[in-house]
Structure 1
Amino acid sequence: MGGTAVVVGGGIGGLAAAIGLRRIGWEVRVVERAPVLQDAGAGISLAANGLRALDELGVGEAVRSAARGQYSGGTRTPAGGWLTRMDGALLEEAVGTPIVGIPRATLHRLLREALPPDALPIGFDAGSVRQTAPGTVRVEDGRGEALEADLVVAADGIGSRIRSGLFPAHPGPVHSGSTVLRALTEETVDLRTDFELTWGRGAEFGHIAFRDGRAEWHAVLSLPAGTRFPDPLAELRRRFHDWHDPIPALLDATRPDAVLHHDIGELRTPLPSYAVGRIALLGDAAHAMTPHLGQGACQALEDAVTLAAALATAPTTDVALARYDAERRPRSQAVARAARQAGRMGQQLSHPVAVTLRNTAMRLTPSRAATRMILRHHAWTPPRLR
């Protein structure tokens, strides 16, 4: 079964969906409102489920070559004590691959390069998406331009206008209670671990080491939505000046204008369906989650492969979309709930007694038990596209 598709949104999920659809013989166009597709963003960790999805899309080898495996590190206290140690080799033995760290811009570029240039219209603001006839969807922008296709994939992010149009009674995204500041270092940093998280009271600082010696760092703070700082880097130096190394060094290796600041939102109320007519919702448009499990991009990649596989094997597009919804909604919404809980027990925890109890429990948890908990989300086998 082949057809035509318009993917709305040129982020990781949208590009992955386009690659998957092209691999099963569909004609695809990705429309993006931005006038230029820029390689922006900080860093990202990809677990086994995300890497296996990329393998099925044909870009896994390129991503692994550009990424750095996360074999060492773990979770620490602000004073530097270890709560848990990462055993990347044990995880690799269990699922066949370590978690890897890669600049988001590099991942985005590798996905974009897997598509022909004419499949990537930019400056097209998909303001209206509607069914015009049985089996036909029309996508219009604000200037009167329009595209028609057999399928529209809504990969337009947490603020998805397509989702709002399909589910007008849904409350939409809400503030999670946290805000994140992140950046890539301009200089190389002497790091002794591949990945770390440090949990304080209502605050988290983490880093991901990259292959070229630079690193991504992020600081997550429990703050009201809209909180902003005149000098974000100076504010972080004030808050984290007495936290363990290499946190001060990471901040010192960063340009002030490189710091990105975003409130963390989520779709706390689950959607009743990821498919309406010939429109499929994917990634953050379907299940925006907090970043506390590092699964947002991985779940979008799972969506992309599952959608393509359903369309490749189902007798009709309608049957394929029903299958996609049935397979993806329970898993992705369960991961979103787990991510929310991880944040409440991790970065957002602030009461001193509760923090002490959590830290004690983490120190007493055996490494293999911790690995089994991780495998609940990482151990996913993709459907075959070829």
Structure 2
Amino acid sequence: MRIVIVGAGIGGLVAALSLHAAGHRGIRVVERVRELRPLGVGINLLPHAVRELTELGLGEQVARIGVAPARLAYFNRHGQPIWSEPRGLEAGYRWPQLSVHRGEFQLLLVEEVERRLGAGTVRQGLRLTAVDHGAGDGGADVARFADASGAITSMEADVIVAADGIHSAIRRQHHPDEHGPVWNGLVLWRGTAIVPAYLDGRTMIMAGDGEQKFVAYPLAAPDAPAGLSRVNFIAERRAPEGAEAQSDWNRPVDPAPIVDLFAHWRFDWLDVPSVIGSAERILEYPMVDRDPIPRWTFVRTVLLGDAAHAMYPNGSNGASQAILDARTLAHRLATEPTIEGALAAYEDERRPATARLLEMTRRLGPEQVMQLAYERAPGGFADVHDVIPQAELERIARDYKVAAGFDPARLNERSSLSVPATSPQGV
């Protein structure tokens, strides 16, 4: 089967590895940038994603470039604890949660694709211009790409996987009247810093509410002699009225104004302005997502990852959902009798699930507990259970895990998405 994957991000690369593991050959990955570099900052891979990476034989490699947080803890903007829960293996999963540098993880995947599928599998510097459906031999779709000079390269494919991100050219081709990414008015500043280890050195923290928030988690184990740790952080605040969003994930900014915004966030367990001020560099971008669309499949072309369902980072689930997309698509193409049936089954499974999850992230997802604490006790509290009952806290955490596909019992018990490495029936 001839397969063209548009986009060498996390979703596209995991799709390539998953399709290859299921026995497919003739896979090409095409990326618009001329040189992939380790850009970005930290991301979290939740246990359902780490399960899929482990079953692809990547678990140990990914674990070596990251750290497994043992706990997630929520606080109000005064540093008072709201809710805390174990994560990964400590929470009863068979797989850990891993915090990794996005760019390092992406390059690891690129190297593995080139090793397993062959050198030259990932072609860079080609921008998709259009897909002509049914224009190739045997009714294949044809993807047309332009290089920096404008020269056009055409590729026929039995399946085209559109993993080309929030500004997907294929999505735009089929939804030309769709507005741009939806901004909720919040601006995020992301960075990494080497700072004194906080709490137990393995806790992911979120402090604040729907108007202003700070997130931090280690990207490496603390250096015991120095007591320092490399952490990833996200500082977030609602923009002034009338501000406009620019959906650029890599715009460097001066840290000083952001330090000022968080000047009073000095907790006895973490000095937030000091963390921000210690950043190697800070990238600014707006919190944007995309509205759900009624269709992901167009003849032999299908959307995946952010191209299909870009969502807010509440719940730390974007990369994990792209990985689930990739594994589900490969599983369906290997187990359904026809390509059309496989693409339909993939969409029937993943589109409703991600639409539900997108709606939950717009309601803050599991971070709802911080907003409730702010609304009910903006000045703080003596005991969080005077503000939010324990049962309500547990329900919010449980409901999000179920919707996102990583409820511990269900994840541990569900069948594998791996398939024997043989050609799928009917192809």
Q: TM-score, normalised by structure 1?
A: 0.89
In the aligned structure 1, how far is the partner of 2:271 from the partner of 2:367?
24
Report the 3-state secondary structure (helix = DSSP H, G, I; strand = E; otherwise coil) of the residue aligned with 2:164.
coil
Which of 162, 175, 187 does residue 167 from structure 1 map onto? 175
Alpha-carbon spacing, 1:141–1:201, altered in 2? closer, same or farther (3 Å):
closer
1:26-79, CA deviations, whole angstroms, 9 ceiling, x for partnerless residues? 321111111101111100111111112212332123212332111134011222
Q: 1:23 to 1:351 in 2, by over 3 A?
A: closer
CA RMSD after TM alignment: 2.8
Kindly state the Cα deviation for residue 191 of structure 1 after the two structures are TM-superposed.
Answer: 2.4
User: Aligned letter for 1:226?
Assistant: A
Distance 1:343 1:368, change over 3 A: closer
Q: Does the 8 Å contact 2:315/2:366 carry over to 1?
A: no
Q: Tell me the residue number matched to 2:125.
A: 123
Task: State how far apart, in whole Å, the 1-side matches of 2:367 and 2:163 are.
Answer: 30
Counterpart contact for 2:141–2:159, Cα < 8 Å: yes
Select the residue among 226, 235, 258 that pairs with 1:219: 235
Residues 310-349 of structure 1 mapped to structure 2, 5 A cutoff: 310-342=332-364, 346=368
Matched residues in 1 for 2:88 and 2:35: separation?
40
Structure 1 residues 330, 200: CA separation in 2 closer, same or farther (over 3 Å shift)? closer
Give distance in 2, aligned partners of 1:79 and 1:345. Answer: 16
1:253 aligns with 2:278: yes
Distance, in Å, in 1 between the alignment partners of 2:187 and 2:123 is: 32
The structural deviation recorded for 1:349 is 5.1
Separation in 2, partners of 1:322, 1:83: 42
Report the Cα distance in structure 2 between the residues aligned to 1:153 and 1:349, rounded to whole angstroms: 38
Is the CA contact 1:202–1:347 (under 8 Å) kept in the aligned structure 2?
Answer: no
Aligned pairs for 1:46-61 within 5 A: 46-61=45-60
Contact 1:191/1:209 (<8 A) preserved? no
User: 1:260-275 counterparts in 2 under 5 A?
Assistant: 260-268=283-291, 270-275=292-297
3-state secondary structure, aligned to 2:255: helix
- How far 1:86 moved relative to its partner? 2.6
Question: How far off is 1:262 after superposition?
Answer: 1.0
The DSSP-based 3-state class of the residue aligned with 1:86 is strand
- Deviation, 1:332, is 1.1
Partner of 1:74: 73
Partner of 2:3: 5
Partners of 2:158 and 2:372 lie apart in 1 by: 50
Determine helix, strand or coil for the equivalent of 2:364: helix
Provide Cα deviations, 1:230-265, integer angstroms capped at 9, x if missing partner.
95311111011110223123123213xx21111121
Residues 82-130 of structure 1: per-residue CA shift (max 9 Å, x gap): 011232378631x323422111122112211211131110001111122
Q: 1:310 to 1:201 in 2, by over 3 A?
A: closer
1:307/1:357 CA distance change after superposition, 3 Å = farther
Offset of residue 309 of structure 1: 0.4
Equivalent residue number for residue 417 of structure 2: 383
1:302 aligns with 2:324: yes
Change (3 A) 1:90 1:233: same
Q: Does structure 2 retain, via aligned residues, the 8 Å contact 1:91–1:371?
A: no
State the 1:363 CA deviation: 4.9
Question: C-alpha separation between the residues in 2 aligned to 1:173 and 1:358?
Answer: 35
Aligned pair in 2 of structure 1 residues 89, 290: CA closer, same or farther (>3 Å)? closer
Structure with higher Rg: it is: 2
Give the superposition deviation at 1:310. 0.5
Contact 2:45 2:98 in 1 (8 A): yes
Cα deviation for residue 372 of structure 1 reads 2.7
Structure 1 unmatched ranges of 5 or more = none
Residue 296 to residue 59, structure 1, CA distance change in 2 (3 Å): same
Paired residues of 2:142 and 2:157 also in contact (CA < 8 A) = yes
In the alignment, residue 372 of structure 1 is paired with which amino acid?
Answer: R
Cα deviation per residue 1:141-192 (whole Å; 9 max; x = unaligned)? 232122221111101111111101022243452112222110112x353222
**How far off its partner does 1:370 sit?**
5.6
Matches within 5 A, 1:107-186: 107-116=105-114, 117-131=119-133, 132-133=135-136, 134-142=138-146, 143-185=151-193
Structure 1: distance between partners of 2:380 and 2:367: 8
User: Identity of counterpart residues, as a percentage?
Assistant: 27
**d(CA) in 2 for partners of 1:109 and 1:62?**
12
1:348 and 1:128 mapped to 2: Cα distance? 44
TM-score scaled by length of structure 2: 0.81
CA distance in 2, matches of 1:4, 1:201: 46
* CA shift in 2, pair 1:105/1:60, >3 Å: same
CA–CA separation in structure 2 for the residues paired with 1:323 and 1:14: 19
Please tell me the residue identity of whatever aligns with 2:278.
A
Match of residue 424 from structure 2: none
Q: Which whole-Å CA distance do the structure 2 matches of 1:344 and 1:47 have between them?
A: 14
Superposition misfits of 4+ residues, deviation over 6 angstroms: 227-230
Aligned length: 379
SS at 1:115 equivalent? helix
Establish whether residue 241 from structure 1 lines up as the match of residue 263 from structure 2. yes
CA distance in 2, matches of 1:323, 1:103: 33
Q: In 2 relative to 1, CA 17–135 (structure 1 residues): closer, same or farther, beyond 3 Å?
A: farther
- Would the alpha carbon gap of residues 338 and 374 (structure 1) be closer, same or farther in structure 2, given more than 3 Å must change? closer
Gaps of 5+ in 2: 222-228, 421-427
* 1:87 pairs with 2:86: yes
